[in-house]
């Protein structure tokens, strides 16, 4: 039995920023620019990682690397939507996948960020969708 002060394994955590990348590209930038008391950056290397964390992190942002497997990314978006998990997915994709932007949005993506853009754009999108500090404090108390 867990002591009263220890959170249960299914306890909800404060919103975080999940970075789903099979090979880290954006994780370092996101950690350098956003990690802190308001935002925990959690790397995810598979859809299974995302689906395991998402129920415990409602209100979190998910940065989804669309390259090199757009079909897997679309399937993950669909699964998140089907499970009604309260994540804010932001897709980062190269220009060759631009024609799939609306499919990604219909599957639940809140934003599309071209991979060729400055990291500032991705960081700005993440900041836009992360909950304000007052909401984070309320959700953890």
- Which pTM value belongs to this model? 0.83
pLDDT averaged over every residue in the chain: 85
How would DSSP label each residue in 51-113? HHHGGGSTT-EEEEE-SS-HHHHHHHHHHHHHTT---EEEEEE-GGGGGGHHHHHHTT-SEEE
Please report, for the chain, the start and end positions of each structural domain, with discontinuous segments joined by +.
Answer: 17-140
pLDDT tens track for 18-47: 999 988 889 999 999 998 877 889 999 999
Q: Answer whether CATH 3.40.50.2300 is correct for domain 17-140.
A: yes
């Amino acid at each position: 039995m867990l002591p009263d002060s220890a959170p249960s394994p299914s306890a909800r955590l404060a919103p975080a920023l999940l970075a789903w990348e099979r090979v880290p590209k954006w994780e370092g930038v996101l950690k350098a620019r956003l990690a802190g008391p308001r935002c925990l950056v959690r790397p995810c290397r598979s859809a299974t990682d995302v689906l395991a964390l998402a129920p415990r992190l409602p209100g979190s942002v998910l940065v989804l690397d669309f390259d090199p497997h757009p079909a897997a990314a679309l399937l993950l978006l669909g699964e998140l939507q089907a499970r009604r998990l309260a994540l804010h997915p932001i897709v980062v994709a190269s220009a060759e996948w631009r024609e799939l932007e609306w499919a990604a949005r219909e599957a639940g993506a809140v934003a599309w960020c071209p991979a060729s853009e400055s990291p500032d754009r991705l960081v700005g999108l993440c900041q836009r969708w992360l909950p304000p500090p007052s909401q984070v404090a309320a959700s953890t108390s």
